[in-house]
């Protein structure tokens, strides 16, 4: 795991022969895993899921070599994804909801099985793992024992992480390049659970995961109940495929292909973001007050004496550095690391 890198079949910023990717398109996708398997997702090699009529898709891990994972063949080019899930329990076990592009832009949620009070969120640009200061934490009530709705709402200008309808973090597209660059190329959806607390994992990763995983009392089960996907199609009205127009990896370079051919390149859609060269600059908004997200599906309970901040303050990431995920801890241990999607990709290779 230490030497593995973020994985992609074909990186369009390095190769010119990468295929166009199927678009989710104009019709929203609604999936209820309580009704069984859905053909929208493809199971990774070695993945065997079961389905419960009340709980949904069951991602079960009985040993540290298992990493049940599913991924979509279709991609969104900006959009909104809502997932109702209950994280898998146990130190060392990680539950992940990831958006990832072919050129290794990434947006993710991660739940640690030994932490029943918060969730972690992170992003990566073009597979950059040179710095690990982009992660954050948000409180949530009983994420292991109760279902919550976790949302990624992503446009060319702004990225929101949302829990049960409440925005807990916002990232603005400031045009910065490099590791702190804004995720902006078409992405597929990946859902999975995996073991970070492996005996052969770096010590920093094991510590981040809460210790070594222990399956002596039985498997660790995570539940994905339902999913809703809306593709914004790069601001266009239709899309059947997305294709990189050059090797820049910018959203403006993506060609949106419709039923009658190329609709247009996304450069025709105006954006307020301009390219800048700097180390990093993002907008980070995280709920840190005593506000608690309710333990029932889709509800929100708030301490009447406390109001969560709604002010978004722009700061440099070096000032709000919160190393999270395996990548963060491994970096702190001076070891190589990767994002959630990297680990999922590695484990199913």
Catalytic residue among 43, 45, 64, 110: 110
Whole-number Å distance between alpha carbons of 32 and 53: 10
* Greatest extent of the chain over all pairs of C-alpha atoms, in Å: 58
For residue 193, give the 3-state DSSP assignment: strand
Decide if 158 contacts 173 (C-beta within 8 A): yes
In angstroms, the CA 92 to CA 206 distance is 7
**Catalytic site residue 110?**
yes
Distances (CA, A) of 84 to 70, 96, 147: 15, 12, 6
C-alpha 144/C-alpha 64 separation (Å) is 19
State the DSSP string of 95-146: EEEEEEETT--EEEEEEETT-SSEEEEEEESTT--S-----EEEE-S-TTTS
**Best CA proximity match to 328, nearest among 176, 122, 48:** 122
Which two three-digit tokens encode residue 316?
């440099």
Helices in 235-291 by DSSP H: which ranges?
none
Q: Is 157 a catalytic residue?
A: no
Is the C-alpha dihedral spanning 231, 84, 198, 218 positive or negative?
A: negative
Tokens of 189: 């959806």
* Catalytic residue chosen out of the listed positions 106, 130, 238, 317: 106
* Catalytic (active-site) positions: 106, 110
């Amino acid at each position: 795991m230490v030497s593995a890198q973020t994985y992609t079949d074909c990186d369009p910023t390095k190769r010119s022969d990468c295929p166009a990717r199927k678009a989710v398109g104009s019709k929203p996708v609604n999936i209820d895993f309580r009704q069984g398997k859905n053909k929208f997702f493809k199971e990774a090699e070695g993945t065997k899921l079961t389905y419960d009529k009340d709980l949904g898709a069951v991602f079960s891990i009985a040993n540290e070599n298992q990493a049940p994972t599913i991924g979509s063949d279709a991609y969104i080019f900006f959009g909104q994804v809502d997932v109702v899930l209950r994280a898998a329990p146990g130190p060392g076990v990680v539950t992940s909801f990831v958006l990832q592009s072919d050129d290794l832009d990434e947006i993710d949620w991660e739940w640690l099985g030994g932490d029943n009070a918060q969730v972690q969120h992170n992003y990566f640009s073009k597979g950059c793992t040179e710095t690990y200061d982009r992660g954050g934490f948000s409180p949530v009530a009983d994420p292991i024992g109760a279902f919550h709705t976790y949302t990624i709402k992503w446009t060319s200008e702004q990225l929101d992480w949302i829990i049960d309808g409440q925005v807990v973090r916002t990232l603005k597209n400031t045009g910065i390049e490099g590791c702190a660059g804004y995720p902006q190329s078409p992405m597929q959806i990946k859902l999975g659970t995996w073991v970070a607390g492996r005996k052969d994992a770096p010590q920093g990763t094991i510590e981040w995961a809460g210790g070594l995983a222990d399956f002596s009392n039985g498997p660790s089960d995570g539940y994905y109940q339902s999913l809703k996907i809306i593709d914004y199609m790069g601001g266009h009205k239709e899309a059947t495929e997305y294709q990189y127009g050059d090797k820049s990896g910018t959203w403006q370079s993506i060609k949106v292909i419709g039923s009658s051919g190329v609709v247009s390149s996304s450069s025709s859609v105006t954006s307020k973001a301009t390219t800048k060269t700097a180390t990093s600059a993002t907008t980070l908004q995280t709920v840190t007050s005593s506000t608690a997200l309710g333990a029932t599906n889709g509800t929100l309970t708030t301490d009447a004496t406390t109001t969560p901040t709604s002010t978004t303050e722009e700061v440099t990431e070096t000032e709000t550095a919160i190393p999270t995920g395996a990548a963060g801890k491994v970096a702190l241990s001076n070891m190589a690391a990767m994002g959630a999607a990297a680990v999922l990709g590695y484990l199913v290779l």
